[in-house]
Structure 1
């Protein structure tokens, strides 16, 4: 099992990155909380990973630290939560914030995340309560320094690079095109990087 990758960050297009280690390039899907902590392209990064093997695909998920990976592993054990939803949850809140939601039974914060309905949120609060003890907080352990598709494609043409990357990331996380565009336009400021724009958009939708 692949548990950690140390290599050069070749590409980063949220929510995916490409890291080259030992002459091999690894495509890794990561939550936005980890994405924010990545170094610049061309620099070395260390990412903790979780490898998923399915009949139709082999997927590698990455995290800034062990606590994020632990939360991901516990989330995908929950009824009705797959890797994609787990990444969406972790992109919308930190490990500490998720633990707080569970401890205080804050269902309202969870249902604001795309794809998380009230029943799913309530189930998460119940199922995750006993699993939180398996998550060791290590916040200092960061990484190193189809009809709708046509409208989405036409939207990209009118956006600058940072807006395109932000829209792509939000769509990959499960947000609807119209919702994502509205928030991006509301929070965008001149010279904003894509990472800053994604962060502000997610914060505005929280």
Structure 2
């Protein structure tokens, strides 16, 4: 009987440790801690001295307080052979929708699902899916016609809006945008300039998520 070499043993030990870590992380349903770093993709949340890197949809990222303050997120742990990632959401319903997208729709992974949730509120998204509005879904970065059609096919009639779809007055939306951009660390002068550009470029009824995405795109291009 042949013995496994040191390389095989090390590989087996690595896989065991990795599976154990993945199992422990999957037990995390919610995290509360201090925001110690913030980027355009997510945050690092300090919980009892441990920094958790968490990817977030734009809408959740924009709603968080500044670095140094406390935040609370609902967590999904995504495990692949080559990585383990944490995804955070402001409410459990967003996490449920994220899991539905990556679990039910072929070709939709975490990156695309995050873009979908960050691009529009739950009521608008549910309406687009249930009405088969693939054109609206195609406005989301990373969503092409075929993917939009698959989302409608797999989820039509299964997605129910839980949030309010009531639209705020235009000035209210831009006031919210101003606050969100400043929370992300942009200077007041930059925010004032980019909001002016976004107001001229976007229709009056554009959602907060669309405006935020456009504003970040303009800021990154500078």
Normalising by structure 1, report the TM-score.
0.67
Which of 130, 133, 137 does residue 162 from structure 2 map onto?
A: 137
Is the aligned partner of 1:112 residue 2:139? yes
Is the aligned partner of 1:42 residue 2:68? yes
In structure 2, the residue matched to 1:5 is: 31
Deviations 1:111-170 (A, max 9, x none): 11122111111110110124325xx7267xxxxxxxxxxxxxxxxxxxxx739xx9xxxx
Displacement of 1:41:
1.1
Counterparts of 1:1-206 in structure 2, within 5 Å, are 1=26, 2-77=28-103, 78-132=105-159, 137=162, 162=186, 186-187=197-198, 199=212, 201=214
Displacement of 1:33:
1.1
Contact (CA 8 Å) 1:5, 1:48: kept in 2 or not? yes
Local SS of the residue matching 2:106: coil
- Structure whose residues are more often helix by fraction: 2
Local SS of the residue matching 1:132: coil
- Work out the CA distance in 2 between the residues paired with 1:36 and 1:55: 31
Displacement of 1:110:
0.6
Q: Which has the higher contact order (CA 8 A, sep 6+)?
A: 1
Gaps of 5+ in 2: 1-25, 165-184, 201-207
Q: Structure 1's 80 and 184: CA in aligned 2 closer, same or farther, altered over 3 A?
A: farther
Local SS of the residue matching 1:5: strand
Displacement of 1:187:
2.5
Q: Structure 1's 202 and 100: CA in aligned 2 closer, same or farther, altered over 3 A?
A: farther
Gaps of 5+ in 1: 140-160, 167-182, 190-194
Structure number, greater radius of gyration: 2
Normalising by structure 2, report the TM-score.
0.63
- Work out the CA distance in 2 between the residues paired with 1:84 and 1:12: 18
Q: Structure 1's 107 and 75: CA in aligned 2 closer, same or farther, altered over 3 A?
A: same
Displacement of 1:204:
9.7
Deviating runs (4+, > 6 A) in structure 1?
Answer: 195-198, 202-205
Indicate the RMSD between aligned Cα atoms, in angstroms. Answer: 3.3
